[in-house]
Amino acid sequence: MVSLLIQYAYAPLLLVGVNGAGIVLAGAGASKAWLLALLAVAVTASFMAERLLPYAVEWNSPMADRRRDVAHAFVNETLILASVASLPLLAGLVTAVDVWPSSWPFVLQVLLAVLVADAGITLVHFASHKVGLLWRFHAVHHSVKRFYGFNGLMKHPVHQSVELAVGVAPLLVIGMPVDVAAALALAVAVQLLLQHSNADYRVGPLRSVLSLNEGHRFHHLKWAGVGDVNFGLFTLMWDRMLGTYSFDPGRRFSTRDLGIAAKPGYPSEYLAQLSEPFRRRGACTAETDGR
The predicted model scores a pTM of 0.92
For the stretch 238-265, pLDDT in tens is 999 999 999 999 999 999 999 998 888 8
For the stretch 19-40, pLDDT in tens is 999 999 999 999 888 888 999 9
For the stretch 61-115, pLDDT in tens is 999 999 999 999 999 989 888 887 776 666 656 666 789 999 999 999 999 999 9
DSSP string, 256-283: GGSS-TT-TT---SHHHHHHHHHH--S-
